[in-house]
Structures are given as C-alpha cells and as structure tokens.
Structure 1
C-alpha cells in the first residue's frame, strides 16, 4: 500500500488509508508560506528535524519565507514560536490522528489504524521521530514547554483509555494504555537509531496481538 505523504490534514482524511512504514524521508513541507498556519507548519518541520536548541532563528525564518524581523513580529521570540508550534501540532494531532479511535470499527481495527497513522506522523520530516517526545526529552530539564506538552500526553492517554475501555475494565484499560505509550516510544527510538521501519511494524503487530492476552 502506498505511503500517505505530506502534512496537510487532507492526506489523512480517509480512515481506510493505512500507511506502511519506510526508512526513506517523507513529508516535505510546501515552500510558500503566507498565513500563520503555513508559517507554523514550516517551522514545525524545522523543529522536528533538528530540535529546539539546534534550530536557529535564521533557519526558521528561511523555512517560513520571512526575515527574522518578520518572524519575531508574529511570535515575539523563538520560545514564543515554539509554544505556538506545539499548540498547533497538538491541535492538528487531535483532529487528524487521535480522532481515529472514535471512528467505526472493532477495537483491533481502530487501534491498528491509529498506530499506523501515529507512526507515520513520527516518520515525517526525514524520520524526525515523535515530535512531542523529542521536545519533552530536550526541554524536560527546564520544563519551559511542559504544560503544553502535557496536553499532548493527556489527550493521548484519554483517547487510548476510551478505546481500550470498550474491551477491558477501566483499571486494566488504564494500565494497558500506560504500557502502550512506553512501548511505542521505545519502538520509535529504535526506528530513529537504526533507520529500520521493522521496529514500527513489530509494534503494531505486538499491540494488536496483545489485546488477546492478559497483562
């Protein structure tokens, strides 16, 4: 099945589109940025590829097609831009990835579609990994973006508990959600380390099979 490429929400519109995984770069951003959303998409890509600290204001301005003064006019500072990007990505993720769990289908079908879509998200921007996890690891010491990043985890946790509660008692659904979060983060780290998508495929298979076994 072909890869679903690019960032726009339309790429993920049809729930029957289930991407496979690849070790090739995917998800290049458009060059023309004329709106706030386009600026956030473009700078998101830069932060996703190289992280917060290693992405210069000049890189961000170039990606946005603006001068540094123009970028600062919109967001005030690099930190202000990062906050706006995290909020934008969190909203985008909720609408285009987490929403999968509330679509029709069995628990197994919805979990697989969700995982594949999420892991495709982790492959965007030259295999950048989980954008949220990257930012948590990089800025966790200072906690400067912690409240916004916690929103991502809270939304992810709530969606998974809601899905798994259709099959398991509430406490078991919560524990399974905790284990799934840890498992997928580890799998994405291995994917980034070895550039081998087999770690993503194994996570999907393991997660679906795990629904049939006690914990």
Structure 2
C-alpha cells in the first residue's frame, strides 16, 4: 500500500488518451505528460496532459510518503498527536457525536482520512467521523479507489449509426485500432469487435488486444 511509484514527467512516444477526470484530450507523440505507474493492477499506468497534471503533481508531492518506509511511524505519530485529538473534538462539535455513515451515536468514534494528501495539516473536509464498524470498510474503499483502473471515457456506451460511419471512415483512411481507441474513447478490443460487426477486415488478432 505504501509503495506506489512517484508520478514522473515523460515524453510521449505515441498517442495517449488523457485520463484526467472528464478530459477528452489526446496526448500527441512528442508531448510532455505526467505518467503515474501503478503496482496494482500490475504494469498499468495513468497518464495526464499538462493541464490535468498540475493537481496530480501537487498531490504526488503530498503522497511521496507512499514510497517511504517511514510512513507507518509518521502516521502513528500523527494520530497520537495533540493536534489530531483537537481536530477530532472540533469535528464532534461541528457534526455531532455520531458516525457519519451509519449514524451510530457515541462509542469509540475515530477520525478517518478521506485521503492522505494533507496529512499533518488536515482540514475538516479531509476527514470523516466513523464508528469502528464503518472505519475498516472505509479504509478498504479508499485503497480500492486509488488502485481502480481508469476506463476509457465511452466505456460501456452504445454505438450509433453516426459513430459507425465515423469509425468506418477513419479505418478506411488507415487509422489503427489503437488510434481509434483513443479517438473514440473505447478499448482496442471494443474497436476491433465493432469493425468486425461492420464487415471490415481486422488486421490485428484479438489475442493481442486488451480485454478491459
């Protein structure tokens, strides 16, 4: 959990779809982009254009401890500090002495980090007040959210006759399935299957295409 590689600036050797939230930009070959490699799923990457990279890079500076072995000690020091206990009292005064997820009142309520970007300088919006029953699942959900692969922007959406015509035209113009996947916001396997359905010859075997 604490060994995610630090994002790095790279020069694109081919086109990539920016994976910033809601961004439709295609990172062209030769452009600078921010590459965030993930340990899980293995060999996966998140790539961001320059505009989307700024908040990611800022967050990475705060997340640098994920690659440091001293994180457990720093975390333990933080949650046992006077400042952390004061923040807990402040949250209870603001939100009441109850779990923010299930509504359980009293008991041993703990502060839960929604993220670790601001660890050491947490603000009320960075934490939740949770009971022990809700705390562990919330921790697991936070980890899953960080590791979840980003799907193409049009993943799971249907094809229209207009999109079919655009796809056919681009394919006949010589675009590769990888280029089309970026342009149409789909996986390569989705592009290949759609081309086959349109009766177009597919030059790349399905076994070599991603199946996500």
TM-score normalised according to structure 2 size: 0.33
Whose helix proportion is higher, 1 or 2? 1
Write 1 or 2 for the structure with the bigger share of strand: 2
Greater length-normalized contact order (CA 8 Å, ≥ 6 residues apart): 1
Is the radius of gyration larger for structure 1 or structure 2? 2
